[in-house]
């Protein structure tokens, strides 16, 4: 057998094995609800889903939701320009309420960005719930937030005043 035929056969068998492995992985991953509902017909609608037919959406749309988050968020005072990010995960329940808000990533720590994100998301209002097979279900939602925090100007003005006084004397 020539080297070209051998390489082609190895490549095709590898490709075939890889696609079978991917299909098997997709079947194995599923959602928690699908795994636990093997004994019942259809999904268990009381579980929390990651994949749904219709995703949950804020009552007035995602743009309004993001605007509400941005205007409600109280940024901490900093002495120098600071970039921050917080990633929250929460559950939109089948009645549209937001519950179980958790911070899964916060940078930098120590500024209170995570606690503020929990406060703002928890108070942001109800959503239109997710659906599977036309029934409302619970759905996980991940919300990344990024910030550019400018230094407070009050301290700079005081320093400038002090510098001006010194230069006048």
State pLDDT tens for residues 57-101: 999 999 999 999 999 999 999 989 999 999 999 999 999 999 999
Write down the pLDDT at residue 152: 76
Write down the pLDDT at residue 56: 96
Write down the pLDDT at residue 8: 36
Indicate the pTM of the whole model: 0.64
Which residues fall within 8 angstroms of residue 5, CB to CB, at 6 or more apart?
A: none
Write down the pLDDT at residue 11: 36
Check residues 89 and 13 and name the one with the higher pLDDT: 89
* Rounded Cα distance, 73 and 142, in Å: 17
Average pLDDT, integer, range 121-139: 95
Beta strand extents in 70-162 (DSSP E only) = 82-92, 98-107, 127-128, 130-132, 135-149
Which residue is associated with the tokens 């937001």?
A: 98
Average pLDDT, integer, range 8-24: 37
* Rounded Cα distance, 122 and 117, in Å: 8
* Rounded Cα distance, 92 and 99, in Å: 6
Average pLDDT value for the chain = 75
Report domain extents, the chain. 1-30, 35-152
Q: The domain at 35-152 falls in which architecture? A: 2-Layer Sandwich (3.30)
Write down the pLDDT at residue 16: 36
Confidence check: pLDDT of 45 > 90: no
Write down the pLDDT at residue 155: 45
- β-partners of residue 139 are 49, 92
């Amino acid at each position: 057998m020539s080297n070209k035929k051998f390489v082609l056969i190895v490549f095709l068998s590898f490709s075939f094995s890889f696609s079978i492995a991917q299909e098997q992985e997709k079947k194995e991953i599923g959602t928690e609800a699908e795994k636990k509902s093997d004994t019942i017909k259809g999904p268990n609608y009381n579980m929390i889903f990651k994949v749904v037919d219709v995703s949950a959406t804020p009552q007035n749309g995602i743009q309004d939701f993001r605007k509400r988050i941005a205007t409600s968020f109280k940024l901490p005072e900093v002495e120098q320009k600071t970039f921050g990010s917080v990633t929250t995960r929460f559950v939109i329940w089948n009645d549209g309420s937001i519950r179980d808000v958790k911070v899964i990533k916060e940078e930098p720590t120590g500024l209170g960005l995570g606690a503020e994100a929990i406060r703002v998301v928890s108070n942001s209002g109800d959503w239109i719930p997710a659906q599977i097979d036309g029934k409302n279900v619970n759905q996980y939602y991940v919300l990344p937030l990024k910030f550019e925090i400018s230094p407070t100007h009050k301290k700079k003005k005081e320093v400038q005043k002090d510098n001006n006084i010194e230069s006048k004397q």
